[in-house]
Amino acid sequence: MSTTADPLAALGALPGVAESVDSVRKAVDRVYGHRVMRRRSNAVTSEAALRGARGSAALSGADWPLEEVRRRSDFSGAGGDEEARTVGGALRLTAEAGQLLSIWRQSPLRVLARLHLVAAADDGDTVGRPRQAGESVNEPLIELPLPDAKEVAGRLDGLAELIIAGSSAPALVTAAIVHGELLALRSFVSHNGLVARAAERIVLVGSGLDPKSICPAEVGHAEQGRAEYLAALDGYVSGTPEGVAAWIAHCGRSVELGVRESTAVCEALQRGAA
């Protein structure tokens, strides 16, 4: 990252990033202007949460149809059903994220620890804290080189400092960097993808870009496909201006696809079909 006083804002000057930011803002404004949002925004928020959780779970290997997620009530993973546990974790994170908005700007590391605890639904001694030296990571769908525990601790502290200090960077830029950094670090022994996408959602909502949480970027990440997601992440990890800009643009497109999903929900509600 840049060494300027506001490194996140500096990323907004990368080629193509301003265009992505503008496109996302216009898309979000359009769905917020839909007539259904004036009287049924809670219904749109609830549906966006469900669809966002489904999308995040799909990227972590549990690609269930939306109606199965809607119908299912047991996500305990009984009988070794890891996909059910993943979907359950994604649903819990979606519900929990809204409760953590006020804490994020003051204590982002505390929020990340809480997100991991909620995702894992476990009381083991590796849960809710960054991994330590010698601990392995269960994140089979991300095959990037794994930073060691010392690097993880340092980069997490740096990320937290940026969040606490605040930035003039657009919400999309901050959300994309939080998401990309958490995926690159895989700070916890498990569930890093779910946690990273939940943190991205917290930034988008808490920044005021999507205050009602109706633009699920997770839907867009899943719709673009795991291969494209991982290729964009490779660009972020490369650290090149082009790679970081491509990752931000990928995240922007994901928000726009989430907007499209919620616009369809609004249209269905307007017709009385949902």
The answer, yes or no, to whether residue 273 has pLDDT greater than 70, is no
Token look-up 């005021």 returns: 208
pLDDT at residue number 13: 87
What average pLDDT score do residues 192-216 get? 97
**Is residue 178 within 8 Å of residue 187, measured between CB atoms?**
no
Length in residues, the chain? 274
Residue 192's Cβ-side half-sphere holds a number of Cα atoms within 13 Å equal to 27
Distance of CA 105 to CAs 22, 70, 90, 93, 117, Å? 24, 32, 22, 18, 19
With a CB cutoff of 8 Å and minimum separation 6, the contacts of 87 are 53, 54, 57, 62, 64, 69, 72, 75
Q: What is the CA radius of gyration of the chain?
A: 18
Instruction: Give Cα 79 to chain centroid, integer Å.
Output: 29
**Is residue 230 within 8 Å of residue 183, measured between CB atoms?**
no
Alpha-carbon distance of 28 to 200, in angstroms, equals 16
> Of 260, 207, 206, nearest to 28 (Cα)?
260
The answer, yes or no, to whether residue 42 has pLDDT greater than 60, is yes
Alpha-carbon distance of 239 to 44, in angstroms, equals 37
> Which 3 state secondary structure label does DSSP give 190?
strand
What average pLDDT score do residues 191-220 get? 97
pLDDT at residue number 124: 86
The answer, yes or no, to whether residue 2 has pLDDT greater than 80, is no
**Is residue 233 within 8 Å of residue 247, measured between CB atoms?**
yes
Helices and strands (H, E) in the chain, number of each type? 13, 0
> How confident is the prediction for the chain on average, in pLDDT?
94
What average pLDDT score do residues 215-238 get? 97
Element (H, E) at 258: helix 241-271
